[in-house]
Amino acid sequence: MITVVVLALSGIALTVYSEGFGIPEHIPHVDFRESVYVVNNTVQIVHAGGEAIDKTAINVILSGNYGMPDEFSRTYSMSDSEVKIQKPDGNNSTDNVLTLGDRIIINTKGSGVSLTSKNSIDLFIVHIPSQQVIQKTVLQPVPVNIPDWITPYPYGSIYDSSTPSEWLPMELLGTIDDGVFIEAPLPTDSEWYEVYEFGIDADEMGISSISEIQLKIIYSFHDNSADKLKLEVSTDGSNWTKINSNDGGEMKEYHHDKEYYYVNYQLYNLTDNQPEYIKNTGELEKLRVRFSVSEHANEHSGKTIRVDFVGVHVEELQ
């Protein structure tokens, strides 16, 4: 994975083109969150807050290795073949506006930029009408070791449907029973769901072969309606597979006089005949989990769902 350091934002804009243009009346105030998957040469940029912005109004510039023979600088428009834009639910965007939760995915391999060989990369997001940089970020690779449980924090994301297009802080689901959790009201006329991404980089975590993968989710309902839970996984960004409730079983424990469901599912095991939801490290890197509840609560019931932890445990083949 890549550590992201934001160097310039807010009302300060840097001019990247030649002089001769006056400062426009309005420069969009947008917060973007960037991440890089060096194994497949992919840069992902999420609209994390601020104004909506026209897709045709921005370019993304990647540059690095200054003063070296392989110094590079590439500019990507949102219509380039290397660029894909997805909505928060993972479907491809069909409109012309970037809004909260939308994700820009740039595959740099087609333009000859190999992210794995770069010590640092500068990323500029340029507002074309004003000729201004609205965000500059330095991306620097750091070594990552495989933890016991891989959670959305710090390299993944959490999307919650109860707050439209809202990406929640990843730290909320990083530790079991720490008093920090996500609590959302159950919907009165629709399905509530959250989507979790883990940002797994198998190469940098040293995962080359897999013997077992487990998924753990800890949650609670105020009315103990555990049977309304639906858990799905995707390994391609668009197709979802419902997890069979018998795959791995589940158990209940009690903490602080409130009932929590500790649910463990087996997503892959080399030695048994259980369904395989993940087949290789490539699918593991793309893993997304969707947790949903079909409860239709009374408008004045005040029912909520609480999620305390989501994590993936990976056992390597010895």
Per-domain boundaries in the chain: 2-141, 157-316
For position 252, what pLDDT does the model report?
A: 46
Separation between Cα atoms, residue 87 and residue 56, nearest integer Å: 17
Least confident of 46-55, 177-186, 267-276: 267-276
Average pLDDT, the chain: 78
Long-range Cβ pairs for the range 232-235 (8 Å, 24+)? 232/289, 232/290, 232/292, 233/267, 233/277, 233/278, 233/287, 233/288, 233/289, 233/290, 234/90, 234/286, 234/287, 234/288, 234/290, 235/277, 235/278, 235/279, 235/283, 235/284, 235/286, 235/287, 235/288
- Residue 3 pLDDT greater than 70, yes or no: no
Residue 178: exposure state from Cβ atoms within 10 A (0-12, 13-18, ≥19) = exposed
For position 123, what pLDDT does the model report?
A: 92
- Residue 268 pLDDT greater than 70, yes or no: yes
pLDDT band with cut points at 50, 70 and 90 for residue 253: very low
Q: What is the mean pLDDT of residues 201-221?
A: 83
- Bigger pLDDT: 41 vs 295: 41
> Which CATH number, 1.20.81, 2.60.40, 1.20.120, 1.10.10, labels domain 2-141?
2.60.40
For position 58, what pLDDT does the model report?
A: 95
pLDDT band with cut points at 50, 70 and 90 for residue 118: low
pTM of the model: 0.57
> What would the pLDDT profile of 49-102 be if each residue is shown by its tens digit?
899 999 999 999 998 876 676 678 899 999 999 999 988 877 788 899 999 989
Q: Has domain 157-316 been given CATH number 3.40.50.1000?
A: no
- Residue 121 pLDDT greater than 60, yes or no: yes
From 59, 61, 71, select the one nearest 118 (Cα to Cα).
71
First-to-last C-alpha distance (Å) of the chain = 24
For position 89, what pLDDT does the model report?
A: 72
- Residue 4 pLDDT greater than 60, yes or no: no
- Phi then psi for residue 307, to 5 deg, are -115, 125
Percent of the chain topping pLDDT 70? 74
Q: What is the mean pLDDT of residues 241-246?
A: 74
Q: What is the mean pLDDT of residues 33-52?
A: 82
- Residue 197 pLDDT greater than 90, yes or no: yes
Q: What is the mean pLDDT of residues 275-292?
A: 88
Separation between Cα atoms, residue 121 and residue 117, nearest integer Å: 10
For position 134, what pLDDT does the model report?
A: 92
- Residue 287 pLDDT greater than 50, yes or no: yes
Q: What is the mean pLDDT of residues 195-211?
A: 83
